[in-house]
């Protein structure tokens, strides 16, 4: 009986020791990525987010070093399980109360905008000969919330590390260019309109703030709210993709990944005020750090040559998709009569 009671504990400890080397390698790369962000900030502006730096550093390390069998379990665990935990924790940072505050018209507009944008972006990628999974990753990244959407979509559609790296790396680069170019639209729009435009087109939250800043506080506020509403579409989109890939017999439990269920539950709990603000902030930070470690794992798993090979077509897909996104966003602003 004593042996039966202690066996699960010993198994758990043994598994932990097996995972440790790979997780430590990913953690080290995460630290390098965070230091890289601080170095950029020292020179005045952060161009590359830690998620992007982490996956790029991991991929560059993979060029000169192939992790051995000792590292593989922990790297795989970081790239998949830590990533899923990060997406789940993200739900604790979102409140449905924002829907009530800004009305259902904008919410319905974005609910239509996101799937249409995904369809348009995916179609562009396929027309340019980009692989289906990379096209879908880039489409979800552009239409919803950048790296988080790409990361959440990847396990659902069975994307490889190289495909995730391609989508993240080139979407991030084009996203930086968007932040620089978008303020040119300010001369033809009000601050509120420009904020909505930034919130609908720029793919990452920090970049939304940077892009909206030239329009003043009103633009920043509307950009943040609009971006948050796009993030809320993550759950429904992942659910739709899961159902689309299911084979009979169909069941809701089979269709919904555990981390999306956790995301929705935490969002609901946070929306009714059961998660204190400081706990929500802590969970958001934890989500960010885990996602950085997961990106390191993906980088260490990817074949850089495959990423480079896909580069021109993926870049063109992202550029054309963002152009289409901007036109659709402007059309939605006009349709909703946002002044």
**In the prediction, which pLDDT does 124 show?**
92
Compute the distance between CA of residue 155 and CA of residue 171 in angstroms, rounded to an integer: 19
- Helices 277-301 and 147-157 meet at what angle, rounded to 10? 60
- From the centroid of its chain, how far is CA 46? 18
pTM metric for this prediction: 0.66
Is residue 69 a contact partner of residue 18, using CB atoms and an 8 Å limit?
Answer: no
Q: pLDDT tens digits, residue range 250-270?
A: 555 555 667 777 888 898 898
**In the prediction, which pLDDT does 9 show?**
42
Is residue 297 a contact partner of residue 78, using CB atoms and an 8 Å limit?
Answer: yes
The tokens of 195 are what? 């904020």
DSSP 226-242: HHHHHHTTHHHHHHHHH
Q: pLDDT tens digits, residue range 277-324?
A: 899 889 988 988 998 898 888 788 776 665 566 667 777 888 888 889
ω into 173 cis (within 30 of 0)? no
- Helices 191-201 and 304-336 meet at what angle, rounded to 10? 150
Compute the distance between CA of residue 71 and CA of residue 91 in angstroms, rounded to an integer: 30
Residue 226: closest CA among 96, 98, 133: 98
User: Residue ranges of the chain with pLDDT lower than 70?
Assistant: 1-14, 98-103, 172-173, 176, 204-207, 209-210, 246-257, 303-311
The tokens of 171 are what? 């979407």
């Amino acid at each position: 009986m004593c042996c039966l009671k202690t066996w699960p504990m010993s198994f758990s400890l043994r598994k932990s020791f097996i995972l440790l080397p790979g997780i430590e390698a990913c953690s080290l790369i995460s630290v390098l990525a965070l230091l890289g962000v601080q170095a950029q900030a020292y020179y005045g502006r952060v161009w590359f987010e830690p998620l992007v730096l982490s996956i790029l550093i991991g991929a560059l390390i993979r060029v000169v070093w192939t992790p051995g069998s000792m590292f593989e379990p922990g790297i795989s665990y970081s790239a998949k399980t830590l990533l899923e935990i990060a997406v789940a924790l993200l739900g604790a940072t979102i409140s449905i109360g924002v829907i009530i505050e800004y009305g259902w018209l904008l919410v319905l507009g974005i609910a239509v905008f996101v799937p249409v944008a995904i369809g348009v972006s995916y179609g562009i990628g396929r027309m340019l000969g980009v692989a289906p999974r990379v096209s879908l990753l880039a489409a979800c990244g552009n239409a919803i919330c950048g790296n988080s959407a790409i990361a959440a979509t990847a396990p659902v559609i069975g994307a490889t590390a190289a495909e995730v790296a391609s989508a993240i790396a080139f979407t991030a680069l084009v996203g930086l260019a968007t932040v620089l170019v978008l303020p040119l639209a300010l001369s033809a729009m009000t601050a509120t309109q420009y904020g909505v435009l930034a919130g609908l087109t720029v793919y990452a939250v920090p970049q939304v703030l940077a892009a909206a800043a030239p329009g003043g506080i009103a633009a920043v506020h509307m950009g943040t709210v609009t971006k948050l509403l796009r993030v809320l579409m993550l759950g429904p989109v992942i659910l739709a993709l899961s159902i689309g890939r299911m084979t009979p017999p169909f069941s809701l439990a089979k269709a919904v990944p555990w981390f999306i269920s956790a995301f929705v539950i935490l969002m609901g709990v946070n929306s009714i005020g059961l998660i204190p603000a400081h706990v929500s902030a802590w969970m958001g930070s934890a989500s960010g750090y885990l996602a950085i470690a997961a990106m390191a794992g993906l980088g260490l798993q990817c074949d850089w040559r495959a990423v480079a090979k896909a580069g021109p077509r993926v870049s063109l897909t992202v550029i054309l998709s963002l152009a289409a996104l901007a036109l659709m966003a402007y059309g939605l602003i006009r349709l909703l009569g946002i002044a």
